[in-house]
Amino acid sequence: MKLGFLGLGHLGRAICARLVDCDHGLVVWNRTAAKAEGVTAEVAATPAEVAEAAEVIFVCMFDSSAVHDILTSGHGLLAADLTGKVIVDLTTNHFREVTDFHERCRKAGANYLEAPVLGSVVPAGQGALTVLVSGDRAAYDRVHGVLADIGKNIFFLGAVGLATKMKLINNLTLGSFMATIAEALALAEDVGIEREEVLDILAVGGGNSLVLNAKRAKLLSEDFSAHFSNALIYKDLHCLQDLAYEQKKSLFTGAVVKELYGRTFAEGTDQEDFSAVYKLFK
């Protein structure tokens, strides 16, 4: 079964490499064609060409606006015959937009699965992502084997929108943990404790977490090349704020953390890894 893949950013390229390692044939597209260089795949000129060539089409974009464009533009997915196809959207979307995406694809004869992932470049390359899925159960069953090639943990949440909402809620903890670890590290360094020792202590104390384990090397080296950027976590926390508003829930830690990541745009570090929030405290 040939797979299609739209979106070759940091995460998209890592997932494509994993799919190739698992012996899947790929046809890919990216708005900036140069990003397809080095990917072992057939390169299509448009999203519609990908849809014509593949039974299952993965989408991995920056945000819902980009997904909307690749669906509805003149040479987008909906310009192709999508009858019987499955579109697996790995993007972290706005929870309101996925309802529209589901409906547009349904009318075109396709099944749309929202499937945002937990994890970034390194676990993607290892097939160790966590995948959250909402949509049609039969479509999910059809693509489960492929999802298992990229995901160590797969959760089917059923109803439209739930996977996206859970991803946004997860990123409340993700962004909060990262900001707290960064602030603690900077304060400990200020009082004279060596950086590596601080991280060693946090790792067996209150800072012990997947976030610290994943970002320890970046904090030690200050290599903040992006696996998951400040711009992305800021976007996700904005969507989360909309979710809290819809539920009439106050968002205390989330609101503060969102503004911390918003500050990275003024500092010129928005495209760096979100662990670079450390620079705000240093």
What are the domain boundaries of the chain?
3-159, 165-281
b/e per residue 59-88 (b: at least 16 CB within 10 A): bbbebbebbbebbeeebbbbbbebeebbbb
Res. 33: pLDDT tops 90: no
Question: What's the predicted TM-score (pTM) here?
Answer: 0.95
Identify whether the C-beta of residue 234 lies closer than 8 Å to the C-beta of residue 192. Answer: no
According to the model, what pLDDT value does residue 16 have?
Answer: 97
Checking if the pLDDT of 42 tops 90, the result is yes
**How confident is the model at residue 236, as a pLDDT?**
98
Nearest partner of 76 among 107, 101, 51, 112, judged by Cα: 51
| 200-221 residue pLDDT tens | 999 999 999 999 999 999 999 9
Q: What is the pLDDT of residues 46-67, one digit of tens each?
A: 999 999 999 999 999 999 999 9
| pLDDT tens, position by position, 174-192 | 999 999 999 999 999 999 9
> Is the pLDDT assigned to residue 34 strictly greater than 90?
no
Matching CATH number, 3-159, of 3.40.50.150, 3.40.50.720, 3.30.360.10, 1.10.260.40: 3.40.50.720
| Sign (positive or negative) of CA dihedral 38, 42, 45, 47 | negative
pLDDT > 90? residue 20: yes
The correct CATH number of 165-281 out of 1.20.1560.10, 1.10.10.10, 1.10.1040.10, 3.40.50.300 is: 1.10.1040.10
For range 256-267, the mean pLDDT: 98
> What mean pLDDT value characterizes the chain?
97
96-135 pLDDT, tens digit per residue, is 999 999 999 999 999 999 999 999 999 999 999 999 999 9
In this predicted structure, the answer to whether residue 1 has a pLDDT above a threshold of 90 is: no
pLDDT band at 38 (very low <50, low <70, confident <90, very high): confident
Percentage of residues in the chain having pLDDT higher than 70: 100
The residue written with tokens 């404790």 in the block is: 193
How would you write the chain as a 3-class SS string? CCEEEECCCHHHHHHHHHHHHCCCCEEEECCCHHHHCCCCCEECCCHHHHHHHCCEEEECCCCHHHHHHHHHCCCCHHHCCCCCCEEEECCCCCHHHHHHHHHHHHHCCCEEEECCEECCHHHHHHCCEEEEEECCHHHHHHHHHHHHHHEEEEEEEECCCHHHHHHHHHHHHHHHHHHHHHHHHHHHHHCCCCHHHHHHHHHHCCCCCHHHHHHHHHHHHCCCCCCCEHHHHHHHHHHHHHHHHHCCCCCHHHHHHHHHHHHHHHHCCCCCEHHHHHHHHC
